[in-house]
Every structure is written in structure tokens, then in C-alpha cells.
């Protein structure tokens, strides 16, 4: 098996940057389960937005032209809408593949056979790809970047067709072993697999889109569940030139001892951290908007109870002698109704605690 770890032998400075990036991403991963539970109703909306952005961006990176609004309309009623153009075929294929991953990632295993099946789903609606779905390439291909102005540029050459089965087999075996033995952080394993997959370019068409689907699949399988609610593909589209530039920089020494992929790994991790930061800000904004209004007096009452609980109304009144009992009762009733406070007991025996 190839020694992929050689490509991860970075300088001290690069290693420090990588450690900091991974630490930030994993810190957000740890907070995500709490954020997820607190904002359930909003997450469905976020996921729908992210899905449309992912489908649109990943297909536009490869040259499609449909806008997010056009994609939303197309997907909204697939049974009625006819899938006629090449762009529509790519969009619906990507959507189907992404939904398949979201619904089944827990039971999906990383195998060559499954990657071929996913490729088949991706190209399901493309008549011109009938003979190429789920089959490794038989002709040499190149990675070509297509820019918004229509210009194209060869990014790098790829693995020769007769070498693809062996290289893919080695890559999948190495990846699964590293996930199992945990000798490398899973984010480094995922980053390297995606780089190698793009370098091999195992299929005649659809490799770029498939690489981004695999990124989502593997992040979910390693419990980075926040990736469902923010679009990795959308960020890659926004950073398209840098995306291709980092691949080109690493690829120039392909197959030699000088093939160190530090710039790619940094790009990959910086992108993930950017997504985590963006998502956290969105959730915090929603939480702030959804929290009920409290007057300064009510905030002081909550803080007093937090520091002295359990508290009777007489205790609270002693600390707020200038506020009438009637006003305090109204404040306490409101704070209980909005679930900031809880109360037990009856009448004079009633005590309050902060929930």
C-alpha cells in the first residue's frame, strides 16, 4: 500500500496552523449537539437552503448555469417538471445523490462498489453517460477548470486508466484503516482522500461533483453533522480559483517525494472552519431573535434568584423594596410563563428557581 502519510509531512509552522484549525472545528463539533437541540425548528429551513446551495454550486463549478432559484423551482415538483437539458440532468442527479447520503450515511460503507453506485445515481438522468455510469474511465482525462467567463484551463493530468483500479483500491483500504486505528485525525484522512480522488479522477465524468459528495458523506460518518446545514459546495464555488490553484500547486510534484499537500489541507480545513463559524453565527442570531424581551428589572430578578435560589416572593421583595408586591408577582408570573423560572409549592410556600 502506498505511503500516503509522506504527503502529510509538514513543517512545524504548518502543523501548528493545522492543529489550531482542527481544534476550532472540533470545538464547534462539540457544541453542535447543544445548538442543534436548541434550534430544531430553524434547522429544517437551514438544511433546505444548504441543499439548494450545494446542488447549485457543485454543478456550476463544473460549468452548469442554473441559478439557485431555478434549481429550487425544478426540485420543488420533480414529478411534473421534465428533466430535459444537460444542466437539469446534472442538478437533479446531484440532488438525488445528496439526499441519499443524508438519509443513509450511517449505514453506507466506504467501498469502491458504493462509490461506483453513487456515481451511477449522480449521472442517472444523463443519457449521454449511459455507458459510463459507475464504471472507471477507459480513456485518459484531465482536470479542466471552467471559469464564469467561459474560459477553461487544464489544472493537471490524472491517473492513466489501467492504473485506476489499483490506486482506488489502495486509497479506500488506507482510508478505512486510518478511520479504524485513529492514527491520523479523521479530518486529515478525509482531506487526503479527496485530494487523491481528484488526482486519480477515476471516472470519465462527474469526478468533481462526486468528490464533494464524498466529502459530505465522510464528514457525516465522522460525526461532523453540522455539514448538513451549511453548504461546503457553496463556499468552494466562492473560492473556485483558490480551490484549483491549491490542487495545481500540490499536483506539480505528483508521484515524487516532493508531493507534499500542505496548501490543500490548509485550504480544506480553513473552509470547514469558515463554515462552522458561519453556521454558529446564524444559530446565535436566531436564538437572540427568538428570546423574549426582559426589562432591566426582570433581568435583575432572574440574576438574584440564580444566586440565591430557591427564593420566596418575600426574599425577592426584600432585595427590591422599591418594587411593589403586585409588580413583582406580575414579573414572576411572566418569567414562569416564558420558562425562564420554575416554581414549586403554593401560596406563601411558593419558591422560584431559574430553569
Helices (H), 124-200: 164-181, 186-200
The predicted structure's pLDDT at residue 129:
77
Q: Please report the DSSP string for 276-345 in residue order.
A: HHHHHHHHHHHHHHHSPP--HHHHHHHHHHHHH-SB-HHHHHHH-TTS-HHHHHHHHHHHHHTTSEEEES
Phi (first) and psi of residue 230, to 5 degrees: -150, 140
Half-sphere exposure of 233 (CA within 13 A, CB side): 29
Task: Report the C-alpha gap between 288 and 199 in whole angstroms.
Answer: 45
The predicted structure's pLDDT at residue 27:
94
Task: Report the C-alpha gap between 137 and 143 in whole angstroms.
Answer: 13
How far is residue 192 CA from its own chain's centroid? 17
CA angle 278, 27, 104 (to 5 degrees): 75
CA angle 201, 133, 145 (to 5 degrees): 35
Q: How many residues does the chain have?
A: 355
* Domains (range + CATH), the chain: 4-289 (1.10.3290.10), 296-354 (1.10.10.10)
Task: Report the C-alpha gap between 142 and 145 in whole angstroms.
Answer: 10
Supply 88's cell numbers: 437539469
The predicted structure's pLDDT at residue 195:
97
The predicted structure's pLDDT at residue 109:
96
Task: Report the C-alpha gap between 220 and 54 in whole angstroms.
Answer: 15
Q: Under DSSP, is residue 203 helix (H, G, I), strand (E, B) or coil?
A: strand
Q: Tell me the pTM.
A: 0.78
Task: Report the C-alpha gap between 70 and 56 in whole angstroms.
Answer: 9
Strands 351-354 and 341-344: antiparallel
Task: Report the C-alpha gap between 325 and 256 in whole angstroms.
Answer: 80
The predicted structure's pLDDT at residue 267:
97
Q: What is the pLDDT along the chain (355 residues), one digit of tens a residue?
A: 468 999 999 999 999 999 999 999 999 998 887 777 665 667 888 888 899 999 989 889 888 888 888 888 888 877 655 787 888 888 999 999 999 999 999 999 999 999 999 999 999 988 777 788 899 999 988 777 777 677 777 777 799 999 999 999 999 999 999 999 999 999 999 999 999 999 999 999 999 999 999 999 999 999 999 999 999 999 999 999 999 999 999 988 888 888 999 999 999 999 999 999 998 888 776 666 556 778 889 989 999 998 888 899 999 999 999 999 999 999 999 898 888 888 888 888 889 988 8
Task: Report the C-alpha gap between 62 and 59 in whole angstroms.
Answer: 5
The predicted structure's pLDDT at residue 126:
84
Supply 50's cell numbers: 444548504
Amino acid at each position: 500500500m502506498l505511503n500516503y502519510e509522506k504527503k502529510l509531512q509538514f513543517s512545524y509552522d504548518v502543523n501548528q496552523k493545522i492543529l489550531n484549525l482542527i481544534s476550532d472545528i472540533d470545538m464547534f463539533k462539540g457544541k453542535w449537539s447543544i445548538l442543534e437541540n436548541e434550534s430544531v425548528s430553524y434547522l429544517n429551513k437551514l438544511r433546505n437552503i444548504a441543499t439548494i446551495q450545494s446542488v447549485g454550486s457543485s454543478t456550476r463549478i463544473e460549468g452548469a448555469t442554473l441559478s439557485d432559484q431555478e434549481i429550487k423551482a425544478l426540485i420543488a415538483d420533480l414529478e411534473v417538471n421534465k428533466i430535459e437539458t444537460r444542466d437539469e440532468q446534472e442538478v437533479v442527479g446531484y440532488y438525488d445523490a445528496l439526499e441519499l447520503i443524508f438519509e443513509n450515511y450511517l449505514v453506507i460503507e466506504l467501498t469502491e462498489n458504493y462509490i461506483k453506485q453513487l456515481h451511477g445515481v449522480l449521472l442517472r438522468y444523463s443519457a449521454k453517460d449511459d455507458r459510463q455510469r459507475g464504471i472507471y474511465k477507459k480513456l485518459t482525462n484531465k482536470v479542466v477548470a471552467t471559469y464564469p467567463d467561459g474560459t477553461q484551463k487544464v489544472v493537471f493530468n490524472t491517473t492513466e486508466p489501467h492504473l485506476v483500479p489499483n490506486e482506488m483500491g489502495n486509497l479506500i483500504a488506507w482510508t478505512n484503516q486510518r478511520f479504524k486505528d485513529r492514527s491520523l485525525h479523521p479530518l486529515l484522512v478525509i482531506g487526503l482522500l479527496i485530494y487523491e480522488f481528484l488526482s486519480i479522477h477515476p471516472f470519465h465524468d462527474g469526478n468533481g461533483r462526486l468528490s464533494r459528495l464524498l466529502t459530505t458523506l465522510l464528514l457525516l460518518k465522522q460525526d461532523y453533522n453540522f455539514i448538513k446545514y451549511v453548504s461546503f459546495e457553496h463556499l468552494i464555488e466562492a473560492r473556485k480559483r483558490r480551490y484549483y490553484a491549491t490542487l495545481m500547486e500540490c499536483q506539480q510534484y505528483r508521484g515524487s517525494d516532493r508531493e507534499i499537500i500542505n496548501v490543500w489541507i490548509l485550504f480544506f480545513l480553513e473552509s470547514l472552519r469558515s463554515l462552522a463559524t458561519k453556521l454558529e453565527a446564524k444559530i446565535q442570531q436566531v436564538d437572540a431573535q427568538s428570546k423574549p424581551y426582559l426589562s432591566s428589572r426582570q433581568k435583575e430578578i432572574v440574576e438574584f434568584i440564580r444566586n440565591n435560589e430557591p427564593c420566596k416572593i418575600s426574599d425577592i421583595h426584600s432585595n427590591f423594596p422599591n418594587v411593589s408586591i403586585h409588580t413583582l408577582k406580575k414579573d414572576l408570573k411572566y418569567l414562569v410563563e416564558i420558562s425562564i423560572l420554575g416554581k414549586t409549592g403554593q401560596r406563601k410556600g411558593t419558591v422560584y428557581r431559574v430553569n
